[in-house]
């Protein structure tokens, strides 16, 4: 076999052996919660479409109208000719929702994190990342060419130790965390992280991919309870609860202007299709108009955790950590046979030995089905 193909095959064989080989499965999402896979109709507990807005009539209609008015694609980078009129409205809406001065929309959340961090941190800088933060935060941190360290998950004491030891040797420092952790569903202690960052002249960035739309009255993880934590860099995605596609950063006006000028993933990548931007605007309308609806995913997750006897969910994400990859695959197949889609999440997406089912709850999941799922998890998976 030629060396390139032999190389690829050997890598695949190793993955297969470790139960870590992945494959794409064609999935037709019917209405936001029911999906069709391999001829089976399944209730999905694996989509990030927390508010089922990918299928909302007003959101779809906004996308259709934008295609008709502006076309299927944007045609160029936003700095050239791709900056169609819908962007200004979406950015103003995001900034208002997040109580920030300004916002900038990127091609995706991954592109946002890959672009933002290297603008703020260079070779002489320091990036401190929660160890369980999303892969694209680490990607952005590596691209900065600064020193990258991770602190123990949600351990503000450890962050303070690292800042004390390292901050002085670097020109700038950035602390980055998920606001709602994507694979664990827990929340970052943002107020304490901001205090620690402030005390060491470091900047704080939160990634609210799983917070916007569903926690803090839809405003995200800086707005939980009656307090507002003024995180200076609030990043997130339009691809989950917002039901469309794209990423964003909300920050002060000078920071956003600097991003427009320096973020490489913004400058050298084509603007989003007008339909995605229009859909996001329509989704924000729903979220702002119907706070009770936006609260439903967390309420449904809580119903599940109470039924199973787990600690109360604080986000729409509930992990059932099972250990080895095989155990997670077995549990996923068991639920598939019962009509549920619950994807097994394996390393390297999660640390070794913590393979899991990652269950996500959405506004429209029927209560009886959540109760049936809880019983299966309690009786057949956690026993």
- Report the C-alpha gap between 62 and 284 in whole angstroms: 12
Contact with ligand PLP (CB under 6 A) among 49, 184, 186, 207? 207
How far CA 90 is from CA of 106, 280, 282, in Å, comes to 12, 7, 9
Positive or negative torsion for Cα 292, 295, 299, 301: positive
Which of residues 110 and 340 has its CB atom nearest to ligand PLP in the complex? 110
Closest approach of Cβ 169 to ligand PLP, in Å? 29
Q: Considering only residues 217-246, where is the footprint of ligand PLP by CB under 6 A?
A: 237, 239
Cα–Cα nearest to 272, from 75, 25, 15: 75
Contact with ligand PLP (CB under 6 A) among 32, 82, 109, 274? 109
The answer to whether residue 209 forms part of the interface with ligand PLP (CB under 6 A) is: yes
Are 376 and 333 in contact, with CB atoms under 8 Å apart? Answer: no
Which of residues 170 and 358 has its CB atom nearest to ligand PLP in the complex? 358
The answer to whether residue 136 forms part of the interface with ligand PLP (CB under 6 A) is: yes
Token output for 21: 């080989």
SS3 labels along 157-181: HHHHHHHHHHHHHCCCEEEEEECEC
Q: Which stretch binds ligand PLP (CB under 6 A): 19-27, 103-111, 293-301, 333-341?
A: 103-111
The answer to whether residue 248 forms part of the interface with ligand PLP (CB under 6 A) is: no
Burial of residue 60, with CB atoms counted within 10 A of its CB: 0-12 exposed, 13-18 middle, 19 or more buried:
middle
113 half-sphere exposure, CB direction, 13 A CA radius: 25
Token output for 7: 């190389």
- Residue 128 has phi, psi (to 5 degrees) of -115, 120
Q: Which stretch binds ligand PLP (CB under 6 A): 3-11, 108-116, 332-340, 366-374?
A: 108-116
Contact with ligand PLP (CB under 6 A) among 134, 158, 219, 346? 134
In DSSP terms, 41 is beta-bridged to 36
Q: Considering only residues 158-187, where is the footprint of ligand PLP by CB under 6 A?
A: 178, 182
Are 133 and 114 in contact, with CB atoms under 8 Å apart? Answer: no
Cα–Cα nearest to 227, from 212, 235, 217: 217
Number of amino acids touching ligand PLP (CB under 6 A): 13
Q: Which stretch binds ligand PLP (CB under 6 A): 26-34, 158-166, 204-212, 257-265?
A: 204-212
Closest approach of Cβ 339 to ligand PLP, in Å? 26
- Residue matched to tokens 């507990």: 45
79 half-sphere exposure, CB direction, 13 A CA radius: 14
Q: Which stretch binds ligand PLP (CB under 6 A): 66-74, 105-113, 253-261, 315-323?
A: 105-113
Which of residues 105 and 341 has its CB atom nearest to ligand PLP in the complex? 105
Closest approach of Cβ 117 to ligand PLP, in Å? 12
How far CA 120 is from CA of 15, 109, 277, 330, 367, in Å, comes to 36, 17, 26, 44, 45
Closest approach of Cβ 209 to ligand PLP, in Å? 3
The answer to whether residue 130 forms part of the interface with ligand PLP (CB under 6 A) is: no
Contact with ligand PLP (CB under 6 A) among 44, 108, 177, 221? 108
Report the residue closest to ligand PLP, judged by CB.
Answer: 109
- Site for ligand PLP, rule CB under 6 A: 108-110, 134, 136, 178, 182, 207, 209-210, 237, 239, 247
């Amino acid at each position: 076999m030629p060396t390139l193909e032999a190389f690829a095959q050997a890598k695949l064989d190793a993955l297969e052996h470790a139960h870590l080989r992945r494959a794409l499965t064609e999935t037709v999402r019917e209405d936001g919660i029911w999906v069709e896979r391999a001829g089976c109709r399944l209730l999905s507990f694996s989509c990030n479409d927390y508010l089922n807005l990918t299928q909302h009539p007003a959101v779809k209609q906004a996308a259709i109208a934008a295609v008709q008015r502006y076309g299927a694609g944007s045609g160029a980078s936003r700095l050239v000719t791709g900056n169609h009129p819908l962007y200004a409205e979406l950015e103003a809406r995001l900034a208002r929702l997040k109580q920030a001065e300004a916002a900038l929309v990127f091609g995706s959340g991954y592109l946002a994190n890959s672009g933002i961090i290297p603008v703020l941190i260079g070779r002489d800088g320091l990036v401190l990342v929660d160890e369980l933060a999303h892969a694209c935060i680490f990607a952005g941190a590596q691209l900065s060419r600064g020193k990258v360290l991770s602190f123990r998950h949600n351990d503000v004491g450890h962050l303070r130790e690292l800042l004390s030891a390292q901050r002085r040797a670097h020109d700038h420092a950035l602390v980055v965390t998920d606001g709602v952790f994507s694979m664990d569903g827990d929340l970052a202690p943002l107020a304490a992280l901001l205090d620690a960052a402030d005390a060491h002249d470091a900047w704080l960035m939160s990634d609210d991919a799983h917070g916007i739309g569903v926690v803090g009255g839809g405003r995200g993880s800086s707005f939980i309870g009656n307090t507002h934590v003024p995180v200076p860099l609030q990043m997130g995605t339009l691809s989950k609860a917002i039901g469309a596609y794209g990423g964003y950063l909300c920050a002060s006006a000078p920071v956003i202007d600097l991003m427009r000028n320096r973020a490489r993933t913004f400058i050298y990548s084509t603007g989003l299709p007008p339909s995605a931007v229009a859909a996001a605007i329509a989704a924000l309308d729903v979220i702002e108009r119907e706070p009770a609806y936006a609260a439903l995913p967390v309420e449904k997750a809580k119903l599940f955790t109470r039924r199973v006897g787990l600690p109360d969910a604080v986000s729409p994400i509930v992990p059932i950590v099972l250990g080895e990859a095989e155990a997670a695959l077995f549990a996923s197949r068991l639920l598939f046979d019962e009509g549920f889609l619950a994807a097994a999440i394996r390393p390297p997406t999660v640390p070794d030995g913590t393979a899991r089912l990652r269950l996500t709850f959405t506004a429209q999941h029927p209560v009886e089905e959540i109760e049936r799922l809880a019983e299966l998890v309690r009786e057949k998976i956690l026993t």
